[in-house]
């Protein structure tokens, strides 16, 4: 066709403009705006992935909408990293019709070497990292974030914004970011276990007999001291009803003065009366000398239930200056639901006053929930419960060998534990545990 010269000029300009727009689409990605591409598992149906207009007008919303069961897909992008350096990933997430977002709408960080192989951590099978849920924002948005150290051989990280196991559900992702970061500051805490059997006679004498051990814990610079179960009942010859008291009450006031003097937390087992009900209770006393909270034993063995005690109903956790603390008591260790209920609510440490029990189960509770477990026992049998501190690895960090002693383990709660086979096990528990327990 013989176009007039002005028309040919206009057509060339339009073609150049269109080509330039295409080149702009393919420009080198920046750390804030990499190329996000659809990703799926070969042979598995993929949900619908689409880009939507963002309310900010700059970056699009990355949406994934699942229709049928079995659909599995993600938005994926690559970032350049340097091995051994620290990075912070963050993204905003909004879900609709997804019953369990922690399992279904998640972020995976896959560390890669320069050749594309999975980048291992020393002594650990390569596994992805998982940013965790954080604060909720207006418009039903929630932030997911985490600070991670790249494995030594890592040259890039593949980030996947995933939707799985959510038929009829929709997730939107907004403002994904990977940025250099400083290592998280240490959160060191010194956990003390008291190994002592009070002499009995009266509740007050039992409390007074603990004073030298609490002084010893202070000399060892403890931040948290775990005492035994039912301290005011043990060896007194009285019934639960006869020694029961309000919590807070006389015993927490007595121990509160010592907690304030030594600037630490105390966990102690007491017999609590609340109206007509009597509970086997663990009290948490803060460094200000006041009751910070209490836990009522959920599982009652024969002897306690026939003695008139009532089981508790809740899984409370408490914020301390070093982290999130939960408590359980003795027989609870034989039931996985109690420790899991506390861990689900964020417990990083569980203090356990315990008469006696199977130490293998204490180890199991520490491993399966990836928490530190502190116990104080009265047991005198060999190969039975000990006073000590278990790590998330299941290792018994310290154990008291002699009666009338205090053992202390210093741990760093900011340090992420990588299991040799499972990788970041605590994060994986959050993403992969079953849904039959309530989410919190």
pLDDT digits (tens, 9 = 90+) for 181-206: 999 999 999 999 999 999 988 999 99
Which pLDDT belongs to residue 58? Answer: 74
Which pLDDT belongs to residue 9? Answer: 43
Cα dihedral angle (292, 296, 298, 301), rounded to 10 degrees? 140
Q: Does domain 37-180 correspond to CATH entry 2.60.120.260?
A: yes
Those residues of the chain that have pLDDT short of 50 are 1-3, 6-30
Which pLDDT belongs to residue 439? Answer: 53
Query: What are the residue ranges spanned by the domains of the chain?
Result: 37-180, 188-413
Task: Let me know: does 231 contact 190? Beta carbons within 8 Å.
Answer: no
Strands ordered across the beta sheet of 277-285: 291-296, 277-285, 265-274, 224-226, 188-195, 405-412
| Cα 2 versus chain centre, distance | 73
Which pLDDT belongs to residue 32? Answer: 54
Task: Let me know: does 304 contact 335? Beta carbons within 8 Å.
Answer: no
Which pLDDT belongs to residue 53? Answer: 87
Question: Could you tell me the pTM of the whole model?
Answer: 0.89
Structure tokens at 59: 């970056």
Superfamily of domain 188-413: Carbon-nitrogen hydrolase (3.60.110.10)
- For the stretch 257-314, pLDDT in tens is 999 999 999 999 999 999 999 999 999 999 999 999 999 999 999 999 999 999 999 9
CA distances 418 to 33, 153, 158, 368, 429, Å, are 30, 16, 19, 13, 12
- Size of the chain in residues: 440
Number of C-beta neighbours around residue 73 at 10 A: 23
């Amino acid at each position: 066709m013989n176009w007039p010269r002005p028309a040919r000029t206009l057509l060339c300009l339009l073609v150049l403009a269109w080509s330039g727009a295409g080149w702009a689409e393919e420009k080198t990605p920046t750390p804030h705006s990499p190329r996000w591409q659809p990703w799926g598992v070969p042979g598995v149906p993929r949900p619908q992935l689409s880009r939507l207009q963002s309310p900010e007008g700059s970056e699009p919303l990355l949406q994934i909408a699942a229709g049928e069961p079995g659909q599995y897909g993600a938005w994926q992008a690559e970032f350049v990293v340097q091995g051994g350096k620290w990075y912070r990933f963050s993204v905003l997430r909004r879900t609709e019709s997804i019953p369990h977002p922690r399992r279904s709408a998640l972020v995976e960080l896959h560390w890669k070497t320069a050749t594309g192989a999975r980048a291992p951590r020393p002594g650990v099978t390569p596994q992805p990292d998982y940013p965790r849920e954080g604060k909720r924002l207006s418009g039903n948005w929630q932030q997911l974030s985490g600070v991670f150290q790249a494995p030594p051989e890592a040259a890039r990280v593949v980030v996947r914004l995933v939707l799985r196991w959510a038929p009829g559900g929709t997730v939107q992702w907004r403002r994904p970011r990977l940025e250099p970061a400083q290592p998280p500051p240490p959160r060191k805490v010194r956990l003390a276990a008291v190994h002592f059997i009070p002499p009995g006679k009266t509740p007050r004498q039992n409390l007074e007999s603990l004073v030298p051990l609490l002084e010893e814990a202070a000399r060892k610079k403890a931040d948290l001291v775990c005492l035994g179960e039912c301290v005011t009942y043990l060896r007194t010859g009285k019934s639960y009803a006869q020694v029961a008291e309000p919590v807070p009450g006389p015993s927490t006031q007595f121990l509160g003065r010592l907690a304030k003097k030594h600037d630490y937390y105390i966990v102690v087992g007491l017999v609590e009366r609340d109206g007509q009900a009597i509970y086997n209770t663990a009290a948490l006393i803060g460094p200000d000398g006041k009751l910070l909270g209490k836990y009522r034993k959920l599982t009652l063995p024969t002897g306690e239930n026939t003695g008139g005690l009532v089981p508790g109903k809740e899984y409370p956790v408490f914020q301390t200056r070093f982290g999130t603390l939960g408590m359980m008591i003795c027989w609870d260790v034989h039931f996985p639901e109690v420790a899991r209920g506390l861990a689900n609510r964020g417990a990083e440490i569980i203090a356990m006053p315990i008469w006696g029990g199977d130490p293998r189960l204490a180890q199991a509770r520490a491993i399966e929930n990836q928490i530190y477990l502190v116990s104080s026992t009265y047991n005198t049998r060999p190969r039975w419960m000990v006073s000590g501190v278990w790590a998330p690895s299941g290792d018994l960090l310290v154990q008291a060998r002699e009666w009338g002693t205090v053992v202390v383990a210093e741990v760093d709660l900011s340090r992420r534990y990588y299991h040799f086979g499972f990788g970041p096990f605590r994060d994986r528990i959050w993403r992969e545990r079953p849904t039959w327990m309530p989410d919190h």
